[in-house]
Chain A
């Protein structure tokens, strides 16, 4: 199996809204290696979420190539993409996106309904995932009965329950207080280090980015070369760009 998990070549994405054309991604070239924890940073509207959505096959590129886990995503049918996403990608949303009428355990079990696993095995896997995120005692709780941090940890359990090769996180700490954010970031870091999960995380938060092993910046749709930071992107206190945790 190749060591490269994500490759994009001259990736372009253009949105047309009314009479306006917005170039969300301009010739983005990205390579992510297996086991990496990459943080994508940039100001609002820089194209970082768009890049994540294209990599997750939730959105289609206007031009260029995108290959994830050796699979060229261009030209795949909706059904094939849904299957592929279920098997290989775990996605963590900013606002958790748990199904409110299902318990924590049922939420985590949900992606496994698409596999050939039997009910007992599905529940065993879901319980293991919840244990891994420290919520073994919250299996029967509904999302409304959990704190924001706990909800996000359930969402992470749901994202990893199928043992995906790639974990994509879109502002995973955006809706959390500092303490819960710390817990979630520690959990992602742990998954990266102990389970060797490849993680790509979009974030605004320099503190969150510090947990990644590499940071890349986007500015006005352009993916900047490694080490380059947008002109107006400096930490307020120090005037320095955040650095990756090594």
Chain B
């Protein structure tokens, strides 16, 4: 009972300039939304891929991040030998006391400097990060003022490249290696010896966190419950994955602003689509009258004009996707509101995001096309036929 799709497609081709202009307006709207979403998705994937499934991160109670956590060495000694903690090959408990702070480094994009996470850890802590691979140079030597830099940091901060010297704490630190980890958040850190860093920052007794590896998933939960419930320790324990998931909130503001701008642009695009479709209805009034005389119902006419609007919108959606596709896999950085340091990650334009862009454009098309389509369907046959 519907009009052939070729009728709509050919009408769009006939007025190709207005079709393309309207579609471009929708494309820009979709591109803004997808850019913000690609950024958040990249951030989400970076943090979602981080964290060992058996790792527990312990911070002082009430601290959402390691940076704001004051974790006493004495507490670490209390929990180090708890039941259920995995052991290294040499029989040591897999627990790592760590110091997390930020240092300021000039980057390619910010010559005035940006905050970068510095993590001091023990050899066991390094051993617990077995997925971490040194891709150039070597690991730092405990007791020496040496650091290794994550690949993202080394790429973006010239001072953190192999062989360079970084100045923080009480003096210079040599970059002796660059590492890479499939856990993307780790690539945005600089690692060094815990005791050396604690001395430089005068935090020998009050550090940041403890990383613990449970023996298995069952003991993981038992350990978390045990640590969280112990009032003497006054600590928060959560899985390392949960901790990184929390950090995805760093992209919330970007997502909010992107969505806000996209919605304002979408309203404008709706009006553009509406204008185009009203013009189409006015131009084809006689055709509408003829179709009604041939027996096509008001609903069929409404549907046909709505489909036409949706086709313009879908074209806009596709163009919008094409506009943002070059952003896919581009590495960028964002300041985390939890760590106050930059996290490097790649923008991700995923198939799900593309589908979201198409749906968004179709919503614009539906809102923009509905009133003109209703106008077409409500036309009386004779007045439509008499239109010039």
**Residue positions of A touching B, CB distance < 8 A:** 53, 56, 58-59, 78-79, 82-83, 85-87, 91, 93, 97, 99-102, 106, 110-111, 113-114, 158
Contact = CB atoms under 8 A, between A and B. Distances in A.
B385 interface: yes
> How big is chain B's contact interface, by range?
20 to 34
A83 B295 contact: yes
A97 B290 contact: yes
Given A58-B381, A59-B382, A99-B287, A82 B10 contact: no
Interface in B273-323: 286-287, 289-299
A59 B382 CA distance: 7
A56 B385 CA distance: 14
Given A53-B382, A113-B4, A101 B296 contact: no
B10 A101 contact: yes
A86 B381 CA distance: 14
Contacts of A99: 7, 287, 290-291
A87 B295 CA distance: 8
Interface of B is mostly: helix
A99 B295 CA distance: 14
B6 A102 contact: yes
Max chain A CB contacts within 10 Å: which of B2, B286, B290, B294? B294
Interface in B1-45: 1-4, 6-7, 10-11, 13-14
A79 B385 CA distance: 19
Given A58-B382, A85-B295, A111-B295, A93 B290 contact: yes
Contacts of B3: 110, 113
B382 A82 contact: no
Contact of A78 (B2, B297, B385): B297
A45 to B, nearest CB: 14
22 contacts: A56-B293, A58-B385, A78-B297, A78-B298, A79-B299, A82-B292, A82-B295, A91-B294, A97-B286, A97-B293, A99-B290, A99-B291, A100-B14, A100-B287, A101-B7, A101-B10, A102-B4, A102-B10, A106-B4, A110-B3, A111-B294, A113-B4
Nearest to A159: B294
Contacts of B6: 101-102, 106
Nearest to A158: B294
Given A78-B298, A99-B287, A106-B4, A58 B293 contact: yes
Interface string B359-388: 000000000000000000000011001000
Contact of B295 (A93, A102, A114): A114
Contacts of B10: 101-102
Nearest to A102: B7
A229 to B, nearest CB: 28
A99 B301 CA distance: 14
A146 to B, nearest CB: 16
A238 to B, nearest CB: 34
Nearest to A56: B293
B293 A91 contact: yes
A77 to B, nearest CB: 10
Contacts of B382: 53, 58-59
Contacts of A58: 292-293, 381-382, 385
B7 A86 contact: no
A58 B385 CA distance: 10
B233 to A, nearest CB: 75
A121 to B, nearest CB: 16
Given A82-B297, A99-B7, 4 more contacts: A93-B385, A99-B287, A106-B6, A114-B1
A78 B378 CA distance: 11
B292 to A, nearest CB: 7
A100 B284 CA distance: 10
Given A53-B382, A101-B7, A113-B1, A86 B290 contact: no
Contact of B296 (A56, A93, A114): A114
Given A101-B7, A114-B1, A82 B286 contact: no
Contacts of B1: 113-114
B7 A85 contact: no
Contacts of B2: 113
B279 to A, nearest CB: 16
Contacts of A110: 3, 291, 294
Max chain B CB contacts within 10 Å: which of A82, A86, A91? A82
B295 A101 contact: no
Contacts of B296: 82, 114
Interface in B172-204: none
Contacts of B294: 85-86, 91, 110-111, 114, 158
Contacts of A114: 1, 294-296
A66 B150 CA distance: 88
